[in-house]
Chains A and B, each alone.
Chain A
């Protein structure tokens, strides 16, 4: 069976709640069958609205949503056959774990034996066999979350939506759940649309990530490309850490441009600048700048150490460089560690290809 690359399709979807502000603007998004796609963005960026429109709890103001080629905008939520995991799990507090899982099957008039079998399978999938008779209140947060995932999957939906499902868990549990959900996705091949504001969650779990801001998809690409090659300064800022320089392009050719800062010049990789005289924000990942680089790099500067923060696996160094005292360096914790002392001067270098000249902030 060939996978449908347009299994879920948002076709020019607009959404407004009050008739004045568009929460979602002209959304064009295709989701392939079996894909794990994450909608990532700050709160209020429209990502949850998109999810709710797909689930059927909100109707698009304009445009259509298609599921497997069929327009679903007029189909009520209970007929869409889309599983959903809610932010606060939304387990039915008056039903046992078994009854919670059996609910979607019972409303579909599945036979009792079949229900038992499916519930059993779903519970073992989230390693909660033997918890059938517990009430949700008797479960820990992580267990409740797993029950919610199992419930969303037990009736074999074509698409599962997850609305910040890990938001309420503590850090360790969240990380292990990320892997667990990822593995479940890989083993059953269901299409997952996942909403989160946690970038590391998005990077770990997804096939593709759609970064939302201001009702628009800023960038849609796989995690590595999103991190390595952000297409605008919002994405660069939102995904991972980055050092920025604001300046003006004074010279440009095919793969290099010269950017004039306040009182110095750096070389950068022109991404969204086209011509001389344009304002730009240059973005550089902290780990791409090296201390005392062995090889020749085309940007070499000297900065003064302002602050050293020990992070265990790495050390963060804040430098005063090129007139900004907010330049961050990440130094991995290795045996050949340098002695980093505050107020000392050090040499820093990076390649112009890693310094991406994006739209000005």
Chain B
């Protein structure tokens, strides 16, 4: 609309202005209503993710430990052994650390960068502690004498590499890669690539759990949507019952069922399917993870499907049949396309939940059935490498966002229906 012929209200104000005025109160009211949620999200979601991110790339610990060293290293080109100045400032930094008794952390950190660093630092520490280093003479010569590695330029380059306050090392490690001494991204040797296996296994298990949930959930949802009320309510309770039971209890019940002396194996032996002395292992491997996760995540598939199927009029299938379609054609051409929004929602929900699943694989997964989330938990609780855990957590989050993006490109998020 052109600006010349604006519509005016009776009091002479432009209609748009008037409308904005009238709606302002409602907008403020609406904002205040969602404000607590926004605040909650900010505190419990946005802020922790930001914190995780900084933690995962944070490398300031060493920067703060060796301020003088890094300052003097700026002029060093890293081709030959650093000049006396660098050795002196390193010695001065280390002395302060030794006095504060935090030199051990430096050793650990540098050892990650270059193997053997910790032991040569311990030698230095003994010299520093017993005041055997004469500050009036050349520090470089005295340090070089402590161990031959101090004459090796690689070790000094390793220190220089840690100078930037931020590092991508944790992310590379998460993908079984590292920066080599020349700063190139390199793969770790084949026998040490544990993370990549875990990522692939996580994707594989999430994918198959989604497929199993879909195959089992679709008929259930269809029954739920078409059965008369009194039966469908009962079935709904059956679907939801696991929802109301603790996750741990459900996982534990699967352990009872699946273990080698468990009910399922007993049954197999009883009907003669397997011999008593060769009971198959159904737990502490992928099978256990598949079975338990499928059961636990099934409601997340059934409910979105059900809510979509509920809206499909039964007369559509009848129309399909009366127009000459066989029951299969009527289902495939009429019913199924209409359930795609529910399939999308259910699969996305199950896949995203499965990809970050923790307790169930931890309990029934064993060595071959654990997922990346178990590795994250391991680093949070056992190695206390929180920055690595954060980095992997963020990689998982990025993966989920990528999947969401792909889904949006393929199906369109507007087509999701959760009910």
Binding site for B on A (CB under 8 A): 55-57, 76-84, 86-88, 90-94, 103-104, 107-108, 151-152, 155, 161
Contact = CB atoms under 8 A, between A and B. Distances in A.
Given A90-B316, A92-B316, A55 B329 contact: no
B323 A88 contact: no
Contact of A86 (B315, B326, B333): B315
A107 B318 contact: no
A92 B333 CA distance: 9
A151 B323 contact: yes
Contacts of A107: 323-326, 329
B327 interface: yes
Interface centre among B324, B325, B329 (most CB of A within 10 A): B324
Nearest to B326: A78
Contact of A94 (B322, B325, B337): B337
Nearest to A92: B334
Contact of B325 (A78, A91, A161): A78
Interface of B: 313, 315-316, 318-327, 329-330, 333-334, 337-338
A155 B322 CA distance: 11
A210 to B, nearest CB: 21
Contacts of A94: 337-338
A54 to B, nearest CB: 10
A205 B333 CA distance: 34
Contact of B322 (A82, A87, A88): A82
Nearest to B330: A78
A88 B313 contact: yes
Contacts of A161: 322
A241 B322 CA distance: 37
Given A88-B313, A103-B333, A57 B326 contact: no
Given A78-B321, A104-B323, A107-B324, 20 more contacts: A57-B318, A57-B321, A57-B322, A76-B327, A77-B318, A77-B321, A78-B324, A78-B326, A82-B322, A83-B323, A84-B319, A90-B315, A91-B319, A92-B319, A92-B320, A103-B320, A104-B324, A104-B325, A107-B323, A107-B325
Interface of A is mostly: loop
Given A88-B313, A90-B316, A107-B329, A83 B322 contact: yes
Contact of A84 (B316, B322, B325): B322
Given A84-B318, A90-B318, A90-B319, A155 B324 contact: yes
A76 B318 CA distance: 11
A1 to B, nearest CB: 24
Contacts of B313: 88, 90
Nearest to A55: B322
21 contacts: A56-B322, A57-B322, A76-B321, A78-B321, A78-B323, A78-B324, A78-B325, A78-B326, A80-B322, A83-B322, A84-B318, A84-B323, A88-B313, A90-B318, A92-B333, A93-B338, A94-B337, A103-B323, A107-B329, A155-B324, A161-B322
A103 to B, nearest CB: 6
Contacts of A83: 322-323
A108 B325 CA distance: 8
Contacts of B327: 76, 78
Contacts of B316: 90, 92
Contacts of A55: 318, 322
Contacts of B325: 78, 103-104, 107
Contacts of A79: 324
A176 B166 CA distance: 77
A178 to B, nearest CB: 22
A162 to B, nearest CB: 12
A82 B323 CA distance: 7
Contacts of A151: 323
Complex A-B, nearest 5 residue pairs according to Cβ-Cβ distance, in ascending order: A104-B323, A90-B319, A90-B315, A84-B322, A77-B321
Contacts of B321: 56-57, 76-78
Contacts of A90: 313, 315-316, 318-319
Contacts of A84: 318-319, 322-323
Contact of A88 (B315, B320, B324, B337): B315
Contact of A108 (B324, B334, B337): B324
Contacts of B334: 92
Contacts of B320: 92, 103
Interface centre among A78, A86, A88 (most CB of B within 10 A): A78
A36 to B, nearest CB: 19
